Amino acid sequence: MASKRKTNPNRFVTAELLRRMATVMLPFYGAVAARDGFARQWSRALLALDLDRMLKLLRAVSRGARKEPLGIGTNAIGYFVSFSAAEPIGQYADGVTIPPGTVQYTFETRIHRAVAKAVIPLYRSLAGNPRFAASLARAIRGNDRPAAIRLVRSRIRTAALKEIAIESSGVALTFKFKSTKYEYRNLFFQDIPGA
């Protein structure tokens, strides 16, 4: 008897999905990078596990976030904003976090701002350049890490970007800045509730 093959959700990552995610998140990352006061408010809300405040702050700076039904989560070392997506993906998420198990109740505003500044060109290309978004979606679908690395590095130039991986139907970017002992990851990926 033939075993049932699991559907690989990577096959369903589209340029449209990446563009929707980037359109919502780009103004947020822009606000974090440009406005120290906003970034500090975000960090305070995150460390207080105040999801309502975080969602309010996100919607205050992103018109796209006001139009989308979003979920938001934090574990006091990072955050994720989740979007609805066509099945079998279901939900797609974007965020910044320190890797779990490293530390608790720590989120450095200055490092969040540095990560946001670094990723803005990538998100700008995803939101505004359909060909670029299609190329990255194709790399994710094909689990083509060299192509993903090439595309991401063409937009993110900082030496603090240490690793680029395809994970969970998305991309994980690991940053290590000299002014912190922690790695920070910017990720967009399939969000599996309860996983």
Residue that is written with structure tokens 């039904």 in the block: 69
195 lies in some domain: no
pLDDT surpassing 90 at residue 10: no
Within a domain: 1 = no
Name the residue with higher pLDDT: 192 or 54. Answer: 54
Whether residue 120 lies inside any domain: the answer is: yes
Per the structure, the count of domains in the chain is 1
Enter the tokens of residue 117: 């500044």
Instruction: Name the β-bridge partners of 81.
Output: 72, 94
Give the model confidence (pLDDT) of 88-126 as tens digits. 898 999 999 999 999 999 999 999 999 999 999 999 999
**Mean pLDDT, to the nearest integer, of 171-191?**
96
- Predicted TM-score (pTM) of the model is 0.92
pLDDT for res 50: 98
Residue 17 token pair: 């999905």
Any domain includes 126: yes
Strand pairing report for 91-97 and 78-84: antiparallel
Instruction: For 19-78, write each residue's pLDDT tens digit.
Output: 999 999 999 999 999 999 999 999 999 999 999 999 999 999 999 998 887 899 999 999
Residues spanned by the domain of 60 = 9-190
